[in-house]
Amino acid sequence: MVTLLRVVLALILIGLVVLFVRHEEWRQALWPADIEPITKGVYTGPPDAPLDEAQVEGLQQRVRDQTY
């Protein structure tokens, strides 16, 4: 009985993979191509110009607001 259940689940999984791979509209529904990468809050390197004191204080305040 357990083996039959495993076979059925495996066939369902294989069917979903085939639908995902072969049908563009399914793939677009599950993973749209126009999803923008998540870059908010990701460190991308040093800024082009040094930060002044007001910018540093603003960033420190944002960090404090998010952590407490």
56-66 residue pLDDT tens: 999 999 988 88
Q: Give dist(CA 9, CA 57) in Å, integer.
A: 56
Could you list the residue range(s) of the whole structural domain that residue 19 is in? 1-34
pTM: 0.36
Asked whether residue 68 is assigned to any structural domain, the reply reads: no
Q: Give dist(CA 12, CA 4) in Å, integer.
A: 12
12-62 residue pLDDT tens: 999 888 877 777 777 777 766 666 666 666 676 776 778 889 989 999 999
CB 27, CB 20: distance < 8 Å: yes
Asked whether residue 47 is assigned to any structural domain, the reply reads: no
The pLDDT of residue 49:
78
Q: Give dist(CA 39, CA 58) in Å, integer.
A: 20
Number of domains composing the chain:
1
The pLDDT of residue 5:
93
The pLDDT of residue 13:
93
